[in-house]
Structure 1
Amino acid sequence: MSAPVVDAPAPAAPPARRRRRGTWIAIGLVLLIVGGVGAVMQAGSQWIERDSLDPESAGPTGTRALAEILGQHGVQVRAARDHEEVETLLESGTATLVLTDTPALSDGRLRELVGLATDVVLIEPRSRTIDLLIPSAAMAGSAPDGVVQPECSLDAAERSGGIQPGALFSASGGTMACYPVEGGHGLLTSFTGEDRSSVVDGTVLFTNEHLAENGNAALAVNLMGRHPLVVWYQPALGDTDLADTEFTLGELTPPWVSPVIVLLMVAALAAAIWRGRRFGPLVAERLPVTVRASETTEGRARLYAHARDALHAADQLRIGALERLARLLGLGPGASAQEISDAAAARAGIDRGAVRRTLLDDIPATDADLVDLAMRLRRLEDAVHAHVRPERNP
């Protein structure tokens, strides 16, 4: 009767393999955590960008409160996030166009939208949009703390009262300037017939956080509420009329960068081929392996010779000579190199300075100096040996 066949248990994974597997798992988890944090931060930054001056946002930097007040005064507020939608709304009748920052819109397209509107209110001024709306205007710094009165003949400003402006602007020609502060003004208004264009820093006046302060709400309603429709242009992240907004790495860098990168890659490949090492398959070898002392000595000697490290080789020669002299002279293991040198000089009858230079002080600079040192060490050991254990005549 044959013995039953029992499957041998599968061998457990070696500890080194388990450690490597755990390392890769930890690296993967770290990458996932970093990617997740980056995605959350990116999403948060996009939300913050949309929240600023958005008429549908109830956050501190949004303008939903202003939209509600305009609605209570019979003015419809339409938030448009696409320039084509803005064009469609403005073509439907008289309307006020409220502009925030439009970095992805071309100058020509922005002029077309401004031309379709009856009134334009720029509430997030930038140098580019100010120049397009009122060519004679420019940025003039920021206002210090304090409420400023209109001091102009613009009805919308006079009825609103004092405000605490943020950015200041300068203008010339027929532009009406209100709220003067240190050579600049907090509000600029330009007229073209019955139409008007205004520039004001709405980021510190018309947001939910600051709308109830001073005459901010009144000024916003007076500037935007002249017509039954307000088209609030809040561009989305992808809203642009430019044909190609994505640039390649070659277009963003100087012309010489790409050839240099290619040259460095070729040089790295050549260096890898030149200095690379080709290892054969792993060979299983029983351990421990016995290595003869002569092989170890010759291997170290080749390393010292290849590195041209004469001083290190001399130290090894001196260490061996000191150990042999100490045993020969009967000195204990605690004897210092100076004590061994003095004892060897006294026993062999040689000058102590010469023995000290041989065992301790001389520094070989060349291979010839190293050979000379080895010969002197050999003669010193022979001299001490001859005086310690003299040969007896038969």
Structure 2
Amino acid sequence: MAAWVAIGLALLVIGGLGGAMSAANQWAQRDALDPDSTGPGGTRALAEILRDHGVDVRVIRDRTAAADALGTGPATLVLPDAPALSDDALSDLAAGAADVVLVEPRARTLDLLLPGAAPAGVAPDTAIEPDCDIADATRAGAVAPGALYSASDGCYPVDDAFGLLVDVTDGGRVAAVDARPLFTNEHLAENGNAALAVNLMGRHPLVVWYVPNPADTDLADADPSLGDLTPPWVSGVSVLLLVAGIAAGVWRGRRFGPLVAERLPVTVRASETTEGRARLYARARDPLHAADRLRIGALRRIASLLGLAANAAVPEIADAAAGRTGLDRRAVRGILIDDIPRGDAELVALSTRLRDLEDAVRTAVRPERNPR
């Protein structure tokens, strides 16, 4: 009993140390597009570049605090997808910003802030020229935009869709772009990605980067829980059944004890076992299975003679045997792999050929031990 307790405590300690080390190594990863994340999918590099350009970047994870920061002066709101916020909350938050940059546009967000726009597939993984009149895009040059959006006009066109949408409003504008293949740490240095990001987000001295927080939701939970959908007596019955199952397991469960050596009543000679198995094979009329057993034994012995590893593949053994004996490789593969006996006569013939092949390998490996 003490040994099991010690093992359990050791496992708990090891698990705790492993969890602590994992948390220490991954503390900065956070979520995708998080400006505090240094992982491949984060945007820490972009936030630092904006700060180097004199832009005050504030990473805010609370909707009320983000709205207060936007009210201090002209600012750009960087807004990823926020499914925990209602339409009214998203619209109110965006209304307080001079510019809004949607870095993870979804159909709902596009419909709210860019009426008439919608997702329209994915662009090919090649750099595309802006081909538009938006100065921020033309100065940045070609990028590989990722997601595409349908609209009447935009930049980085692919067929009838665009990789960047910009809608100029009174005193500001709303831009939509897929930031995952462009603005994350692993892609920011490619093409004109960094220039496009700075041009879109650095138009004002303040950037409010809102990071959605599930606890920041304003949606009421109207979905009933499982407990609301079941009668009150179900919980009690479930607990009773669980206790009964545990009691039955303790009552009827197998109790493992030390192994007990049991003396067999008779001793069976190996020759009798082999002969009995052979009779079973003959009665089953399955020459292929018997041939497989013969081949397995021959392959093991031939591999040992040739000095091959115990886990050597069958084709490797066959090729090595053919190369050492000088026999035709196709013939050796037929003996060891391909030939299928159709009856007892062919099985006996295969057994003879296996024995002859094994003797040939032994003679080639140890010629001094075989009389001429």
Whether 1:111 and 2:91 are equivalent positions in the alignment is yes
Aligned residue number for residue 127 of structure 2: 147
Aligned residue number for residue 127 of structure 1: 107
Distance (whole Å) between structure 1 residues aligned to residue 184 and residue 208 of structure 2: 17
Whether 1:28 and 2:9 are equivalent positions in the alignment is yes
When residues 274 and 30 of structure 1 are mapped into structure 2, their CA distance, relative to the original with a 3 A threshold, is: closer
Residue aligned with 2:74, SS: coil
Structure 1 residue 161: deviation in Å?
1.4
When residues 130 and 253 of structure 1 are mapped into structure 2, their CA distance, relative to the original with a 3 A threshold, is: farther
Q: Is the 8 A contact 2:67 2:96 kept in 1?
A: yes
Whether 1:66 and 2:46 are equivalent positions in the alignment is yes
After the TM superposition, which residues 215-364 of structure 1 pair with which residues of structure 2 at under 5 Å, given as runs? 215-235=192-212, 237=213, 239-242=215-218, 251-252=225-226, 255-256=229-230, 260=234, 262-266=236-240
Distance (whole Å) between structure 1 residues aligned to residue 216 and residue 209 of structure 2: 16
Aligned residue number for residue 209 of structure 1: 186
When residues 156 and 259 of structure 1 are mapped into structure 2, their CA distance, relative to the original with a 3 A threshold, is: farther
Distance (whole Å) between structure 2 residues aligned to residue 100 and residue 195 of structure 1: 18
More displaced stretch, 237-246 vs 127-136 = 237-246
TM-score of the aligned structures, taking structure 1 as reference length: 0.54
Structure 1 residue 223: deviation in Å?
1.2
Distance (whole Å) between structure 1 residues aligned to residue 143 and residue 245 of structure 2: 69
Aligned residue number for residue 48 of structure 1: 29
Aligned residue number for residue 310 of structure 1: none
Q: Is the 8 A contact 2:28 2:36 kept in 1?
A: no
- Among 116, 126, 131, the alignment partner of 1:136 is 116
Unpaired runs of 5+ residues, structure 1, are 1-19, 278-332, 335-394
Structure 1 residue 148: deviation in Å?
0.6
Distance (whole Å) between structure 2 residues aligned to residue 274 and residue 239 of structure 1: 43
Aligned residue number for residue 76 of structure 2: 96
Whether 1:177 and 2:115 are equivalent positions in the alignment is no
Structure 1 residue 123: deviation in Å?
1.1
Whether 1:196 and 2:176 are equivalent positions in the alignment is no
Structure 1 residue 116: deviation in Å?
0.3
When residues 152 and 33 of structure 1 are mapped into structure 2, their CA distance, relative to the original with a 3 A threshold, is: same
When residues 104 and 47 of structure 1 are mapped into structure 2, their CA distance, relative to the original with a 3 A threshold, is: farther
Q: Is the 8 A contact 2:86 2:219 kept in 1?
A: no
Structure 1 residue 126: deviation in Å?
3.1
Aligned residue number for residue 334 of structure 2: none
TM-score of the aligned structures, taking structure 2 as reference length: 0.57
When residues 195 and 257 of structure 1 are mapped into structure 2, their CA distance, relative to the original with a 3 A threshold, is: farther
Structure 1 residue 256: deviation in Å?
4.2
Structure 1 residue 49: deviation in Å?
2.5
Aligned residue number for residue 159 of structure 1: 139
Distance (whole Å) between structure 2 residues aligned to residue 111 and residue 190 of structure 1: 15
Distance (whole Å) between structure 1 residues aligned to residue 61 and residue 240 of structure 2: 49
Structure 1 residue 58: deviation in Å?
4.3
Distance (whole Å) between structure 2 residues aligned to residue 246 and residue 23 of structure 1: 47
Residue aligned with 1:87, SS: helix
Residue aligned with 1:48, SS: coil
Residue aligned with 1:49, SS: coil
When residues 273 and 104 of structure 1 are mapped into structure 2, their CA distance, relative to the original with a 3 A threshold, is: closer
Q: Is the 8 A contact 2:28 2:38 kept in 1?
A: no
Per-residue CA deviations over 1:226-259 (Å, capped at 9, x if unaligned) read 2222112234x56504377799xx7157824875
When residues 36 and 137 of structure 1 are mapped into structure 2, their CA distance, relative to the original with a 3 A threshold, is: farther
AA partner of residue 87 (structure 1): A
AA partner of residue 92 (structure 1): T
AA partner of residue 29 (structure 2): I
Per-residue CA deviations over 1:81-135 (Å, capped at 9, x if unaligned) read 3222211111011111111233433332222110100110011233333333223
Q: Is the 8 A contact 1:57 1:63 kept in 2?
A: yes
Residue aligned with 2:59, SS: strand
Q: Is the 8 A contact 2:41 2:185 kept in 1?
A: yes
When residues 168 and 21 of structure 1 are mapped into structure 2, their CA distance, relative to the original with a 3 A threshold, is: same
Max Rg structure: 1
More displaced stretch, 40-49 vs 85-94 = 40-49
RMSD value, Cα = 3.7
Structure 1 residue 80: deviation in Å?
1.9
When residues 142 and 36 of structure 1 are mapped into structure 2, their CA distance, relative to the original with a 3 A threshold, is: farther
Q: Is the 8 A contact 1:81 1:239 kept in 2?
A: no
Q: Is the 8 A contact 1:109 1:241 kept in 2?
A: no
Distance (whole Å) between structure 1 residues aligned to residue 243 and residue 193 of structure 2: 66
AA partner of residue 225 (structure 2): E
Distance (whole Å) between structure 2 residues aligned to residue 270 and residue 228 of structure 1: 67
The aligned length equals 253
